[in-house]
Structures are given as C-alpha cells and as structure tokens.
Copies of this chain bind each other. A is one copy, B any other.
Amino acid sequence: MIEVRSISTASIPSSLGRHFNMSLKPETRDKLKKVSTATLATALYKRGFRTQVIQDVRPLSPLAESMVGEAFTLRYMPAREDLNRLEVFRERGHPQREAIEECPPGAVMVMDSRKDARAASAGGILVTRLMKRGVAGVVTDGGFRDSAEIASLGFPAFHSRPSAPTNLTLHQAIEANVPIGCGDAPVFPGDVLVGDADGVVVLPAHLADELAEEATEMTAYEDFVIERVRNGEKTLGLYPPTDERNLELFAAWRKEHGR
C-alpha cells in the first residue's frame, strides 16, 4: 500500500508560521476601532496589497465603531449528503459547534463559505453564543439565517445576504484555525480583521501595528480635508496635499484639535 504523507500548513514557508498567534496589542486594537476599512485598504494598497478586502459582505446592523479582532477561521467544504444528516450536530466534536466554543474572546470568527449563500453559514443561536463569549465579530462570505434576530443583537456580523436553509444543506465544517479564502481574500489565522459599513479588510498580522498607526495619521488628514471641503474648499491641491499651504493649515488644525 502506498503511504501518502499529509502535507499540511506546517510545510508552507516559515514566514507564515508567525501569523498564527493571537496577540494584537490593545493600543493597536483601539486605533483600528477608529479608522475605516477604506483608509486601511489604501494603506495596504501602498504596500502592494490589492486583494485584502473580503468582497461583497456587509454588516447586518449599523456599527458604532469598527469591528476589530484577530481572525479565527472555519473552513466549510461542499456537504456530502451521507455525512450531513441532521444528527451530526449531536456529535460533540462537530467542527462548527466546537469552533463556536473555541473562538477566543476578542477574535473575529471568519468562515470560508466559498461565496455560496444558498445555505446559511450559521444562525441566531450560534451568533448569540459568540457574542456572549466575548468574540469581537463574525464574518462569512455566505449568508446567515435568523438575520432579523442577529441584526437586533447589535453584534458585528457580516455576510453577503440572508439565507434560511441550514448549513448542512451545502456546507460541511471541516477544519478550524487554518488559512482560508473569504470573499476572494486570503485569511491566515491571526490576521487582523477590521469591519465597517463598507465591508471587511484583512490586515496581515505582522503589519497590523504599522497599518494602525499609518491609518490613524491618514484619518486625521482626511478629517481635516472633509472639514475644509464642507467649507467649500476644492480638492485639487488639498487631497492629496500638493499645495504646501495645506500642510501648514493641517499642522495648525492638528494642534487645535489635539490630534
């Protein structure tokens, strides 16, 4: 008999190894709560990252501040009928149910549903449980069921559209805490997810601090710009600041606003 070695993520370049911890600094988390996914996407773009936005997801309810947390992943594969009878949920080791209980507080649970919202990725009970456990949010590139109930929780939950069918119909949870794709974006466990009304952006773990810092600076300038544009200023020379005078005015504005 041929022995086939299981080639796992252990063999991917060691540079990936360090992305698996969940050690987002509190100050970085705080900064990220106050910046937008749009600003972060631009900061990523400057560094050559063009595919770090989870495409076509939106929050089920408005958010007071940006969702922030390390990615705890769950991978779904297409469901095979004999392995997805309703009784499978009676098994304690079912990967979906287990993942719900193991996702660390402060993390964001992110599900690879292969962009297929024809069946739910999860529903109201599991999302409520995540919220109660202190998880920072939940993201799927498929859909949630019980969407009205989830929307009423005020908990950051992002999906593509509501979907009533149980996940067993199409989605078999197969493993947690492995690199996945979500909405065409690569997500490694420990990457930092930030979400707002525009969707969700994935920050490579090793860049979270510098991106948070840069986005905070960019946000200050954007706030200054929007204030001036509201006052009738034109954007040429101001955004970006090719007119030197605007940099001086910005310096004064920062001092005035303590930013």
| A interface residues, Cβ below 8 angstroms from B | 1-2, 4-13, 15-16, 20-23, 36-38, 40-42, 45-46, 48-53, 55-56, 58, 62, 72, 77-83, 86, 88-95, 97-102, 104-105, 114, 116-118, 120, 123-126, 128-129, 132, 145-149, 151, 161-166, 168-169, 172, 174-181, 184-186, 188-189, 196-199, 201, 204, 222, 225-226, 229-230, 232, 234-237, 239-240, 242
- Are B6's CB and A128's CB within 8 A? no
- The answer to whether B50 and A22 touch across the interface, beta carbons within 8 angstroms, is no
Q: Is the Cβ of B189 less than 8 Å from the Cβ of A4?
A: yes
| Most chain B beta-carbon contacts within 10 A, residue among A15, A22, A56, A201 | A56
Q: Is the CB of A178 within 8 A of B6?
A: yes
Given A41-B165, A164-B199: A236 in contact with B97 (beta carbons within 8 A): yes
Which chain B residues lie closer than 8 Å to A93 at the CB level?
11-13
In the complex, residue of chain B having the shortest beta-carbon distance to the beta carbon of A2: B104
Q: How far is the CA of A21 from the CA of B6 in the complex (A)?
A: 11
Q: Which partner residue on chain B sits nearest A55 by CB separation?
A: B118
Q: Is A7 within 8 A of B102, CB to CB?
A: yes
A63 to chain B, nearest CB (A): 9
A-B contact pairs, 23 of them (CB 8 A): A1-B23, A6-B176, A7-B10, A7-B99, A7-B177, A11-B98, A12-B93, A12-B174, A15-B83, A37-B164, A38-B165, A41-B169, A45-B169, A53-B164, A80-B186, A80-B204, A101-B234, A125-B225, A125-B226, A126-B235, A147-B197, A151-B197, A162-B198
